[in-house]
Each structure stands twice: as C-alpha cells, then as structure tokens.
C-alpha cells in the first residue's frame, strides 16, 4: 500500500497547487454527497445521534475545504527571506514547503470522520499521499471516506488500511515518511518509539482531562448549558470533553442546581448516544463508583440506562475529593465532576495540576479577566465562555501539551509534519572566490577577529582599530 501510495503521490505532488486545490473542492463535494452514508455509518458504529453526526462530523467538511483550498494555498506558497547583503552579497533564497511523501494517518473511533479529514485535507493539498489506518471500531466510516477519495484521486493516492493495532504498528515501520497519530497516551508512546526507529517525524494528539473554571460572576444559565454540552457531547467520548469543573464557592450552589435540572432533561437517542465500546463503559463505571465510594454526591445519572446497549446516563458529581481518579484519569464518558474552590488562584492551580493539557475554558462575564485567566492555564486551547468547539475550526491550531501530546492539527502549524522546508539558494556573484573559501591565510584569520570585534559590544576605540585591521587584512587577502 505504501509503495502504491508513493507512486501516486509523486504524480500528485507534480500537479501545481491550484490544481490540487481544485481537486480538494471535488473531494469535499464527493464527501458531502455521501453525507447520508457517513451519518448512517456513524450511527451504526458509534451510536451517534443524527444531529450530532451532521453537525460535528459532516458539515465541518465544508469549512475544511474552504480554508485549505483558499488560505491553505497561501500558507504553502514559497517565500524569499532576505539575506544580508554584507555577509552574503549577491545571494538569493527561496524557501518552499515540500510534501513529505506518504503520510501514515492513524485515527481513533470517537470522531471517525472529522479527525482523519482534518489531516487528509491539508496533506492532499500539500501534495502528500496518505495511508489511512482507521480504528478497528469504525471501519465503515473509513470505507466511505476511501470511496470519496478514490472517486476524485483514483485508487492509490489515499488508501485505507483496515485492521487493529498490528496494522497500525506495521504501517509506522512500513516505509512511510511521517505519522499523524490521534489516540490514547499508551498507544501514542508506542507510535513515538516506532517513529524514532524509522527516523520519521510524528504528530501525537493524545488524551485529555479538560478543566473548566467557573468564576463568581459567570452567567449561570449559559455556563450550565455550556458545561453540560462540553461534557456530554458524543456521550463524553471526546478528547476535549470537560472532565473537571472548578467552581468558585459563591456560585457553586446555583450551578449545581441548574446542572442537576438540565441533566435530567437530556433525552437518550436525541441528545446523547450510547457508549461506543465495552472497555470505555467499564472505565466510566469504575470512575463513577469510585467517586461515590470516596464520598461524592451524585446529582444526576450515576448508572447505566435500562435499555439494550451500552447506555450510560449523563452524570453530574459534586463534592468529589481531590485526587480521586474521576478527577485525574481520562474518563472519556458522560461524567461531569464538580469541585468547589475558594477563588481564581485555587481554580487555576487545580486546573494546571494535571499531566494533560489539551483544552480548557473559563466562564465569566468579565471578558478581560477571562482572557487573563486563560493565559494562566496550561493547555493548547483555552476558550472563554465556551468549550472545545475549536476542534472543527481549521484556522486554529489544535494541539496539546504534556500527556496530551505534541501534535498539531489544523492551521499553518499542521503543515510542519506534512511538509518539509526546502531552501533553494542562487548565488549571482561573478567573483572568482568568496572571502571565506580556501586558502585560510593569517590575513583571513585577522579579518575574522576584526569582524567579531566590530559586531560585538567593544568600546568605540577598539572598533575603530578593528576597522583599520579589517581593511588592511582584506587588502593583503585580495592581493594574495
């Protein structure tokens, strides 16, 4: 697959960028034409409610195409950095972004359409070929993506490698030129080792434990609704789900009451779907039971729903003791634990005391204060009065820090793993030799010393002497 992709990639990279942008528009159309098939696969494989599938996975495809087909073309354009005319006279440089070749794209099951497409669009625009290894839990979504790509690009440029972790590992070591991985911390580590062995760049988008900070002046209605959406969208199976709320005591009671009421209004099948895998359900049950045993109050949910399938009720916990696994480990389920804090400082310290650092949010009516608090948080994205939605904004970098990995998808920064910079320099000078070429005479050494003195912080007298020395040494050098 990698070899076939490489050959198709060479043809594709040779197309000019306008042509590649045009093809990207056709790829978008081919995907949107398959919207119903994608939504059906998302429902079958993940159990997502229909509205969520359209809005989180299908409609953002249009934004991707618009951004990469427009601004993306400019981001990939070569640029000409100025070279110093004294140090490098007569030399002109251009720096181009060159496609890496074949990208291994390894994806998780939680957003099986949106996540791979976020990388596929810029990779194809840049001139790369892609071998896409979807999650073994969501093969059908990948089939639809593969069919849309084949309609536009033929069968080889984008290939779908179905299978489990063994296929992913084989792909990383299979001669690809870079890896874009999204998934768990444990697998991310293995992939990083594989990429190190193959000496290829890798982007890692890993887990999260997003914090939300609610300040005393927050609008409780908007905050409660926003927190609930941020925690329960995709049944909480979201790397950027809110999994910890630090609320200032002045508004804690009001927030608890509102969350309790709103959680009870959530309708299964309409507002949330089932949990996608058995393994995830076991983690959710363990975290909620553990918190309950440790003394947490269950304000809403706290149990599976009495219906066939892996349904878990939207759960709001309060008074969760610090250090409880529900506050420290990734739950990846519909569970929202609340912790009361005295003030902003305590909230910021608690939010930052996590190995994860994907996204975070601050809820306040004072927007300046919100921005100030945002800058104190250790996360790749911080949103004031909203949460997590920037995953589908192609112009913004999506990245994390710490255990959340160091990959960047979306924005110009995503191009760093998908392309490599190539500098092409042309020397227009006709002189027979450069000053720094052989022979390395004493006069050349003297010139070097004078230049260092001139460009350093020496007193004026020493600099004047250096100018004299430089002129004398230069004359001797050119005579020789």
Binding site for ligand NAD (CB under 6 A): 106-110, 115, 133, 135-136, 164-165, 168-169, 172, 182-184, 187, 190-191, 205-208, 239, 330, 332, 358, 400, 404
Q: Nearest distance from residue 198's CB to ligand NAD, in Å?
A: 12
Q: How far is CA 197 from the centre of its chain?
A: 23
Tell me whether residue 208 or residue 334 sits nearer to ligand NAD (CB atom). 208
Q: How far apart are CA 167 and CA 106, in angstroms?
A: 10
Q: Using an 8 Å Cβ cutoff, are 68 and 143 in contact?
A: no
Element spanning 298, H or E: strand 297-300
Q: Nearest distance from residue 277's CB to ligand NAD, in Å?
A: 7
Residue of 45, 52, 141, 239 with catalytic role: 239
Q: How far is CA 265 from the centre of its chain?
A: 33
Q: What is the 3-state secondary structure (H, E, C) of 251-294?
A: HHHHHHHHHHHHHHCCCECCCECCCCCHHHHHHHHHHHHHHHHC
φ/ψ of 402, rounded to 5, equals 60, -135
Q: Nearest distance from residue 269's CB to ligand NAD, in Å?
A: 23
Residue with the shortest CB distance to ligand NAD: 168
Is position 74 annotated as part of the catalytic site? no
φ/ψ of 179, rounded to 5, equals -125, 135
Q: Nearest distance from residue 166's CB to ligand NAD, in Å?
A: 7
Residue of 205, 329, 340, 344 with catalytic role: 205
Q: Nearest distance from residue 330's CB to ligand NAD, in Å?
A: 6
Q: Using an 8 Å Cβ cutoff, are 108 and 115 in contact?
A: yes
Q: Nearest distance from residue 96's CB to ligand NAD, in Å?
A: 29
Bridge partners of residue 246, in order along the sequence: 213, 339
CA dihedral 12, 16, 20, 23 (to 10 degrees): -100
Tell me whether residue 164 or residue 309 sits nearer to ligand NAD (CB atom). 164
Tell me whether residue 106 or residue 262 sits nearer to ligand NAD (CB atom). 106
Q: Using an 8 Å Cβ cutoff, are 210 and 223 in contact?
A: no
Is position 205 annotated as part of the catalytic site? yes
Q: Nearest distance from residue 99's CB to ligand NAD, in Å?
A: 22
**By CB neighbour count within 10 A (0-12 exposed, 13-18 middle, 19+ buried), where does 117 fall?**
buried
Largest CA distance in the chain: 95
Element spanning 109, H or E: none
Kindly state the tokens that stand for 272: 């949330």
Q: Using an 8 Å Cβ cutoff, are 247 and 346 in contact?
A: no
Q: How far apart are CA 173 and CA 175, in angstroms?
A: 6
* Active site amino acids: 205, 239
């Amino acid at each position: 697959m990698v070899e076939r992709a490489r050959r198709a990639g060479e043809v594709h990279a040779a197309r000019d960028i306008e042509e590649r942008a045009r093809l990207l528009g056709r790829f978008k159309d081919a995907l949107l034409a398959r919207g119903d098939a994608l939504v059906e696969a998302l429902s079958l494989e993940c159990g997502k409610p229909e509205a969520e599938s359209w809005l989180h996975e299908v409609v953002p495809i249009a934004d991707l195409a618009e951004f990469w087909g427009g601004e993306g073309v400019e981001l990939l354009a070569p640029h000409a950095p100025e070279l110093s005319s004294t140090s490098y006279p007569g030399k002109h440089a251009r720096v181009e972004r060159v496609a890496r070749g074949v990208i291994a794209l390894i994806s998780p099951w939680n957003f099986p359409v949106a996540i791979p497409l976020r990388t596929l669009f810029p990779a194809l625009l840049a001139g790369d070929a892609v071998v896409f290894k979807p999650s073994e839990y969501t093969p059908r979504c990948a089939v639809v993506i593969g069919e849309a790509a084949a309609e536009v690009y033929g069968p080889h440029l984008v290939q779908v490698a179905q299978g489990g972790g063994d296929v992913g590992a084989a792909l990383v070591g299979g001669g690809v030129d870079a890896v874009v991985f999204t998934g768990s911390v444990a697998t991310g580590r293995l992939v990083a080792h594989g990429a190190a062995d193959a000496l290829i760049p890798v982007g890692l988008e890993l887990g999260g434990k997003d914090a939300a900070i609610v300040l005393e002046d927050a609008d409780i209605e908007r905050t409660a609704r926003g927190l609930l959406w941020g925690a329960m969208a995709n049944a909480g199976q979201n790397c950027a789900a809110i999994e910890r709320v630090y609320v200032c005591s002045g508004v804690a009671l009001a927030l608890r009451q509102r969350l309790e009421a709103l959680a009870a209004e959530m309708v299964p099948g309409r507002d949330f779907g089932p949990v996608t895998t058995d393994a995830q359900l076991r983690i959710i049950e363990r975290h909620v039971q553990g918190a309950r045993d440790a003394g947490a109050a269950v304000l809403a949910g706290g149990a599976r729903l009495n219906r066939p399938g892996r349904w878990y009720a939207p759960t709001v916990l309060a008074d969760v003791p610090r250090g409880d696994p529900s506050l420290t480990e990734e739950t990846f389920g519909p569970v929202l634990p609340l912790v009361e804090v005295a003030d902003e400082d305590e909230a910021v310290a608690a939010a930052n005391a996590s190995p994860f650092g994907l996204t975070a949010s601050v809820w306040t009516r004072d927007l300046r204060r919100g921005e100030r608090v945002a800058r104190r948080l250790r996360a790749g994205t911080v949103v004031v009065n909203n949460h997590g939605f920037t995953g589908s904004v192609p112009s913004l970098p999506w990245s994390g820090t710490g255990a959340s990995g160091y990959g960047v998808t979306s924005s110009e920064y995503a191009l760093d793993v998908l392309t490599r910079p190539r500098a092409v320099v042309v020397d227009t000078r006709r002189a027979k030799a450069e000053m720094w070429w052989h022979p390395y005479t004493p006069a050349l050494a003297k010139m070097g010393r004078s230049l260092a003195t001139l460009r350093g912080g020496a007193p004026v007298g020493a600099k004047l002497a250096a100018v004299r020395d430089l002129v004398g040494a230069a004359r001797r050098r050119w005579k020789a």
